[in-house]
Amino acid sequence: MSLLDRILLLDIFAGLGVTARHLARPADTVEYPEKAKEPSERFRGMFLLDEERCIKCTLCAIECPINIIYIDWHSEKNAEGKAEKKLDRFDLDMKRCMFCGLCEEACPTNPRSIWLATKTYELGTYERNESLYLDIRKLTQWDGNVKPFPTADPAKAPVNPAKEK
Amino acid sequence: MSEGTPGTAALVPPPEEPTLLGLHEMELNFGPQHPATHGVLRVVLKVDGERIVSARPDVGYLHRGTEKLFETETYPMVIPHTDRMDYVAAATNNHAYCLAVEKILGVEVPKRAQYIRVLLDEMQRVSSHLLWLATAAIDLGAITPFFYTFREREVILDLFEEYCGARLTLNCMRIGGLPVDLTPGWVERTQAFFETLEAKIDEYEDLLTENRIWKERTVGIGVLAADRCVAWGVTGPVLRAAGVAWDVRRALPYECYPELEFDIPVGKNADTYDRYLVRVAELRQSRRIALQCCDWLAKNPEGEIRGKVPRVIKPAAGMAYASVEAPKGELGFFLVSSGANKPYRLHVRAPSFVNLQSLPEMIRGHLVSDLVAVIGTYDIVLGEVDR
């Protein structure tokens, strides 16, 4: 390092120059929770279940790596006298879910009976078991635990795929 | 690791006259809650004044028994667990595991899936190196690179989110290929990002490369010569900074790497500063590979993304080892199959764990403040060290 460099601190000013160039730039961050970034279409968030489409095959429960899905069903005669599976329980331990999406991939119905692409990610609660150990009542309701993403334009808000047949 | 092993006996200095307190050496705990240990690493130091006489890394604070857990899961169910080892580079973890299972099954991965996988790997490498640059610089007192690198990393995470739906724990590869195809416009957006990356890397270099404070803290610190690196089994940028051009992408090619053009940057002095230079050069090379992949994918927008894999994966009894060049070094999966639908044994050769073993040798004789620089230079992720 030459004497001139020692006095003029050229290397330090090169770094400060980068900082100075960024002074006038607009901020890249947003003020959460006043503003929130909308997740992408494939974003894996909170579950949604369509009870009518579900064929009670329990493949999602089998494929789950941490066994957090519990399904119980019984057989019932419908009006035509045919045997039909009825869901008794569809429980999900949301506290342990790691949102890998393997249950959604395992679902054999077309369209699928489980969605993770609900764009819901605000799942923090005060009561851990009441809100995060979910039963079928909470899993199938769009406005319960699965809240639509608060987009500015209500027309653009994601719709409940279960109701869109 | 410190007292019992031969060769380390020389670490203990000859007895001297007792000082006022009757002690020369003091035992000092560094971590596991120290913010500069990048997680929960505990280093038991023996210090003589400010100088480190010996260091013993004490790992296991984040041990989750992942390797045992693998044995209880069927083959596809293992993939989300591999995300959680090196959690800042999940794509390479997925890739290495899938390669091992594909090897034992004998499955051919379609060309398009190979290119997408390589592109995801390189994006992951860029994001991991950017995170390393941010945290290593912040450890040594340079806070500005943190903001700039995280800005670019955010773009990569957004691209990951658009492709597979997650930002960090990606679960973005499947045995035999990929879970989903690319979304429309994804390749163009990725290409546009990598086009702008070169100027951004110049910016980081402006901040650090010639900065005299950065150089004072890194030049000549933590030297581990090439022969010692090889003896310890160190891989990745730490080995390449010592002048050994060992890169799994070139040495044991996998996927479509033989078709891509890239250089292997190597250092000379094997110190912390050279490791920084090697990683920055790797950012540029990753950008080069990613742009070639984008070109190929733009030319081939259609195609299979998943090979012919049976519905229930039950490989014949046998063994397979597959490795990839993860951002931290050579990441390998050694799979033993007993013919069941679950692995009999799945051992992970984690680069962070292997690299960390050389810490006592690298830090000997340095000051306590240099320990922060040396731990930073390894680019360890404790999730991978402890598994």
Q: CA of A116: which chain B residue's CA is closest?
A: B165
User: Beta-carbon neighbour count of residue A153 at 10 Å?
Assistant: 6
Q: Work out the minimum CA distance from A8 to partner chain B, whole angstroms.
A: 12
- Sorted by where each begins, the domain ranges of chain A are 48-149+158-163
Nearest to A18 among B179, B183, B206 (CB): B206
Between helix B368-378 and helix B272-299 the angle, nearest 10°, is: 20
Residues of chain B with pLDDT under 70: 1-23
Which of B78, B169, B179 is opposite residue A105, by nearest beta carbon? B179
**pLDDT at residue A164, as a whole number:** 47
Distance from CA of A134 to the nearest CA of B (A): 22
Smallest CA–CA distance from A60 into chain B, residue: B77
Cite the beta strand spans of chain B per DSSP E: 26-30, 42-48, 51-58, 318-326, 329-337, 345-349
Min Cα–Cα distance to chain A from B57, Å: 30
- For chain B, how far is it from start to end, CA to CA, in angstroms? 20
Chain A residues touching chain B at CB-CB below 8 Å: 1, 11-12, 14-15, 17-19, 22, 28, 39-44, 63-65, 98-102, 105, 116-117
Q: B207: which 2 tokens?
A: 């901040």
Q: For A41, which residue in chain B has the nearest alpha carbon?
A: B162
Of A41, A65, A117, the CB nearest to B77: A65
Per-residue pLDDT of chain A (165 residues; tens, 9 = 90+): 677 777 777 777 777 887 788 888 888 788 887 877 788 888 888 777 877 788 888 888 888 888 888 888 888 887 787 888 887 888 888 888 888 888 888 888 877 788 777 777 777 778 777 767 777 777 776 655 666 666 545 555 455 555 544
Whole-number Å distance between alpha carbons of A150 and A148: 6
Q: Which of A100, A107, A119 best probes binding to B when mutated, by most B CB atoms within 10 angstroms?
A: A100
Q: Which residue of B has its CA nearest to A28?
A: B151
List the single residue in A with minimal CA-CA distance to B201: A18
> What sign has the CA pseudo-torsion B102, B107, B111, B113?
negative
pLDDT score, position B3:
47
B360-384 tens-digit pLDDT: 888 888 888 888 888 888 888 888 8
Angle at A12 between CA A6 and CA A14, to 5 degrees: 120
pLDDT recorded at residue B92: 92
Cβ separation A42–B180 shorter than 8 A = yes
β-bridge partners, B346? B335
The reported pTM is 0.85
Whether B119 and B297 have beta carbons less than 8 Å apart is answered as yes
Question: What is the nearest CA distance from A153 to chain B, expressed in angstroms?
Answer: 21
> Does the beta-carbon distance from A40 to B79 stay under 8 Å?
no
Residue B290's pLDDT is 92
Q: For residue B21, what pLDDT is reported? A: 53
> Is there a contact between B203 and A18 if contact means CB atoms under 8 Å apart?
yes
Residue of A nearest to B205 (CA): A15
Q: Answer whether B211 sits within 8 Å of A17, measured CB to CB.
A: no
Could you give the CA distance from residue B379 to residue B138 in angstroms, rounded to a whole number? 13
Question: What is A48-149+158-163's CATH number?
Answer: 3.30.70.3270
What number is the ipTM of this complex? 0.77
- Residue B158 sits at the chain A interface (C-beta within 8 Å): yes
- The DSSP line for B134-188 is HHHHHHTT--HHHHHHHHHHHHHHHHHHHHHS-SSS----BTTB-SSPPPTTHHH
Query: A101 vs B171: CB contact, 8 Å cut-off?
Result: yes
Residue keyed to tokens 């959460």: A32
User: Any chain A CB within 8 A of the CB of B151?
Assistant: yes
**Using the beta-carbon criterion (under 8 Å), do A102 and B162 form an inter-chain contact?**
no
Neighboring chain A residues of B179 at a CB cutoff of 8 Å: 101, 105
Going along chain B from its start, the domains and CATH numbers come out as 25-57 (no CATH), 64-386 (1.10.645.10)
Q: Which of B73, B80, B213 sits opposite A98 (nearest CB)?
A: B80
Contact indicator for B327, B337 with CB cutoff of 8 Å: no
